A and B are shown apart, each in its own frame.
Chain A
Amino acid sequence: MIHLAGIERTFLVGDETVHALSSVDFTVRQGEYVAIMGPSGSGKSTLLNIIGLLDRPDKGIYTLENLDTTELTDDQQASVRRNKIGFVFQFFHLVPRLTAAENVELPMILADVDPASRKPRVQAALDSLGLSDRAKHRPDQLSGGQRQRVAIARATIMQPDVILADEPTGNLDRTSGIDVIRILEDLNHAGMTLIMVTHDPDLSQRAARRVQLQDGNISTDTGGL
C-alpha cells in the first residue's frame, strides 16, 4: 500500500546541502509492523514525515494506496492525513487547554463527523484504552503514559490504515512505554499498518520487520521485497 521510489530530500543547512534521504526505495504492505532504526541524523524522522505527508520529497514518487501523493494539493493532502494516517509523537502534542475527550474528538470535528455520533465514539475509544475516568482531565493532569494513550486514541479515532509513531516511548518510563507499545501492537493485530521510528533495540526486536537507515540510505531491511 505504501510505495516509495527514488525518494530524495535535501535540506540547506547554512550554505551546505544535507541529504536527509538519497534515493530511497521502500514498500510497506497492508498490516505490516515495521520498526525504523538508525542513529540521529540518519533520516528516519524525515522518512516518517514524508510517509505521513507532512513533508514533500524533492525527487521521487510516493504512492499511497495507488494514489500518487506528490501530485496532490495542500487540501487534498490534508484530507489523506485526516482519513488514512494517524500520528503518534514523542512529545504527545495534545492541545493543553482541551480535555482528554476533546483532544480525541478533534480529528472528527475536522472531518465534519456528525456531532451526535462523536461523543459515543470518543467514549468508546477512551474506554478501550482504559481512560474512561480521565475523559474530563486536561493533559497537565495526566501522567505521561496516560497522555500517550490519549494521543493514540486521537490517532486512531478516524480508523486510519496506517499509524506512524515517532519515538512513541521516548518520553516515557519503562512500564508505561511497554503499555503503549502493547496498545500499538494490538492495533496492528487488528489490521492497521504500524510504522514506528525508534532507537531502542529492545523495542525494534518486537517488530516483524526492521529497517536500518544510515546517512539517508536503507542499509538493512529484514522484510524488504
Chain B
Amino acid sequence: MKTGDVIQFSTRALSGYPTRTFLMILAMAIGVASVILLTALGEGARRYVTNEFTSLGTYLLIVLPGRSETTGGPPPLLGETPRDLTLEDALSLTRHSAIRRVAPITVGSAPVSWKHRDREVTVLGSTEALFEIRHLSMSQGRFIPAGDPTRGLAVCVIGYKLKKELFGNQSPLGQWVRIGERRFRIIGVLSKKGQSLGLDMGDVVVVPVASAQTLFNTSALFRILVQANGRDAVPRAKETILTTIRERHEGEDDVTVITQDALLSTFDRILVTMTLSVAGIAAISLSVAGILIMNVMLIAVSQRTSEVGLLKAIGTPGSQILRLFLAESAILSLIGAFFGVILAYLGTWGLSRLFPKFPFAVPIWALGAAVFVALVTGLVFGVLPARRAAKLDPVQALSRR
C-alpha cells in the first residue's frame, strides 16, 4: 500500500467517526498545550531573573566588606573585625586594565525635605560611574558630575517617585532640599526604571559619595560596584580586586567578591531544573491523553471488526492492518499536537496580556519535544489496539454482521 493511500484511508476512517476523533484530538491538544504552557512559564521565570541581573549592570563584580567563606587556621586571639572598605580602596581599583569602572557606594537613610514636605528615603552616595554601571537614565537634568570623588559637592539627583512626592508637577531642577542636616541642590531626576533586585530606584536620592560620608559621619563604604572590561576580563578583575585590597589591608583577605555571572548561572541552573520538572508534571497529562487514545482505539477496533475481516479477505496482510491503525493514532496525535501548539500560543498570548512585565516565552525545544512526545504517545498507546486488529481471525470477524 502506498503511503499516500495509507494516510488517506486512515483520515477517512477518522472523519467517519467525528465525535470520538474530536474527543481524542481534544485530549491530545490539552496535553500538548499544558506541556508547552508550563514550559513557557518556567522559561519566562528564567528570563525574568536574567533580565533582573542584566539591569543590575553588565560584567558586574560586587565587593563586600568581610569574608563570607570560612577558611582553616587557628582562631584569632583578639577576635577579627573586618576592616572597612574605604573610598581610597575603591579609587585604588580604578588603575587596572581589567577594570573599566568603579562605583563606591554608601547607603543610608535620611529624611529629605523641601518647604514643608518631607519624606524618609534611601540615600545613595556614589560617583558618576554608577550611572553607567547600573544602566540608569535621566528624565530631567543630569547625573552627578565627574570630578574628584573625595570632594563632597552639595548636589543631588532624585528618583522619579521622590520627585512626584515632593514637587508634584513642578520642576525640581535647581531647588534646594534638606537631606538630614545638610542642604543639596537638585541637578537631575532619574527616569522611571522600576526596581532592580530589591532597591526601588524611584524612591532614592543620589549624592556624591564624599557628601554621603559626611552626612552619615562614616568613612566606610557599603560596597563597591566594579565593572570589568568585558566578559573575559571578569576573572582577571576579580583577582586584581582581591590582590589590591589584600595589599591595602596588610595581607588580610577581608573582602568578598561576588561576580554577577556566578549568581546568574546558579539561578539559571535552578530555574532550568524547575522548568524541566514542571514540564515533566505536564507530561503526565499527555500520557493520560495517550491512555484515552488507547481506549478509544480499542473500541474502534471492535466497532470495525467486520471491516478488518473484510480487509483481510480482500488480501490485506496483518502487518498492513497494524500499519493502518498505527497511522490512525499517529494522525490523531499530530492533529492534536497541532491544535495543542495553537492553544499554547493563545494561552501565552493571553497570559502576557495579563502580566505584561513577565517575559513569557515558548522555547523552541519545548515545542519540538511536546510534538515529538505526542507522536510517541500516540504510537505507543496505539500499538495494543493495532495488534488486536491485526490478529483478528477473518472468519470470526466476518461472521458478525
A163 shortest CB reach to chain B, Å = 13
Complex interface: chain B residues within 8 A of A54 (CB): 312-313, 394-395, 398
Interface contact B319-A81, CB-CB below 8 Å:
no
Interface contact B401-A110, CB-CB below 8 Å:
no
Complex interface: chain A residues within 8 A of B401 (CB): 91
Complex interface: chain B residues within 8 A of A82 (CB): 314-316
Interface contact A52-B313, CB-CB below 8 Å:
yes
Interface contact A93-B395, CB-CB below 8 Å:
no
For residues 85 through 120 of chain A, which have their beta carbon under 8 Å from a beta carbon of chain B? 85, 87, 89, 91, 93, 95-98, 102, 106-107, 109-112, 115
Known A-B contacts A97-B13, A112-B1; A78 and B312 likewise in contact (beta carbons under 8 Å)? yes
A58 interface residue per 8 A CB criterion: no
The answer for the CA separation of A106 and B312 in the assembled complex, in Å, is: 12
B180 interface residue per 8 A CB criterion: no
The answer for the CA separation of A24 and B395 in the assembled complex, in Å, is: 20
A49 interface residue per 8 A CB criterion: yes
The answer for the CA separation of A93 and B316 in the assembled complex, in Å, is: 15
Complex interface: chain A residues within 8 A of B9 (CB): 109
Interface contact B315-A112, CB-CB below 8 Å:
no
Complex interface: chain B residues within 8 A of A154 (CB): 314
For residues 333 through 392 of chain B, which have their beta carbon under 8 Å from a beta carbon of chain A? none
Interface contact A78-B2, CB-CB below 8 Å:
no
In the complex, per-residue mask of B44-65: 1 if CB is within 8 Å of any chain A CB, else 0: 0000000000000000000000
B302 shortest CB reach to chain A, Å = 15
In-complex Cβ contact of B313 among A79, A81, A95, A115 (8 A): A81
Closest Cβ neighbor of B399 among chain A residues: A45
Closest Cβ neighbor of A102 among chain B residues: B12
A87 shortest CB reach to chain B, Å = 5
**Majority DSSP secondary structure for residues of A touching B:** helix
Interface contact A78-B316, CB-CB below 8 Å:
yes
B256 interface residue per 8 A CB criterion: no
Q: Among B135-143, B266-274, B303-311, which stretch is in contact with chain A?
A: B303-311
B80 interface residue per 8 A CB criterion: no
Complex interface: chain A residues within 8 A of B16 (CB): 96-97
Known A-B contacts A109-B5, A110-B1; A89 and B315 likewise in contact (beta carbons under 8 Å)? no
Q: Which of B16, B307, B313 has the most CB of A within 10 A?
A: B313
B150 shortest CB reach to chain A, Å = 89
In-complex Cβ contact of A78 among B4, B309, B310, B315 (8 A): B315
Complex interface: chain A residues within 8 A of B66 (CB): none
Complex interface: chain B residues within 8 A of A85 (CB): 315
A132 interface residue per 8 A CB criterion: no
Interface contact B313-A110, CB-CB below 8 Å:
no
B280 interface residue per 8 A CB criterion: no
For residues 69 through 89 of chain A, which have their beta carbon under 8 Å from a beta carbon of chain B? 74-75, 78-83, 85, 87, 89
For residues 7 through 21 of chain B, which have their beta carbon under 8 Å from a beta carbon of chain A? 9, 12-13, 15-16
The answer for the CA separation of A87 and B315 in the assembled complex, in Å, is: 10
In-complex Cβ contact of B315 among A91, A110, A115 (8 A): A110
The answer for the CA separation of A109 and B311 in the assembled complex, in Å, is: 11
A55 interface residue per 8 A CB criterion: yes
In the complex, per-residue mask of A174-218: 1 if CB is within 8 Å of any chain B CB, else 0: 000000000000000000000000000000000000000000000
Complex interface: chain B residues within 8 A of A55 (CB): 394-395
Q: Which of B320, B395, B401 has the most CB of A within 10 A?
A: B395
Interface contact B315-A79, CB-CB below 8 Å:
yes
Complex interface: chain A residues within 8 A of B4 (CB): 115
Interface contact A111-B12, CB-CB below 8 Å:
no
The answer for the CA separation of A154 and B398 in the assembled complex, in Å, is: 16
B317 interface residue per 8 A CB criterion: yes
Interface contact B306-A93, CB-CB below 8 Å:
yes
B218 shortest CB reach to chain A, Å = 87
Complex interface: chain A residues within 8 A of B317 (CB): 74-75, 78-79
Interface contact B12-A98, CB-CB below 8 Å:
yes
Closest Cβ neighbor of B314 among chain A residues: A107
A77 shortest CB reach to chain B, Å = 8
The answer for the CA separation of A96 and B238 in the assembled complex, in Å, is: 78
The answer for the CA separation of A97 and B310 in the assembled complex, in Å, is: 14
Interface contact B12-A97, CB-CB below 8 Å:
yes
In the complex, per-residue mask of B1-43: 1 if CB is within 8 Å of any chain A CB, else 0: 1101100010011011000000000000000000000000000
The answer for the CA separation of A75 and B15 in the assembled complex, in Å, is: 29
In-complex Cβ contact of A83 among B1, B5, B315, B319 (8 A): B315
Complex interface: chain B residues within 8 A of A107 (CB): 314-315
A159 shortest CB reach to chain B, Å = 13
Complex interface: chain B residues within 8 A of A97 (CB): 12-13, 15-16
Pull 28 A–B residue pairs with CB atoms less than 8 Å apart, ordered by A. Answer: A52-B313, A54-B312, A54-B313, A54-B394, A55-B394, A74-B317, A74-B319, A75-B317, A78-B315, A78-B316, A78-B317, A79-B317, A80-B315, A81-B312, A93-B313, A95-B310, A97-B12, A97-B13, A97-B15, A97-B16, A98-B12, A106-B311, A106-B314, A107-B314, A109-B9, A110-B314, A110-B320, A154-B314
A-B residue pairs, 4 tightest by C-beta: A82-B315, A97-B16, A78-B317, A81-B315
Q: Which B residues contact A (CB, under 8 angstroms)?
A: 1-2, 4-5, 9, 12-13, 15-16, 306-307, 309-320, 394-395, 398, 401
Beyond A81-B312, A95-B310, 5 additional pairs, beta carbon < 8 A: A52-B313, A55-B394, A74-B319, A93-B310, A115-B5
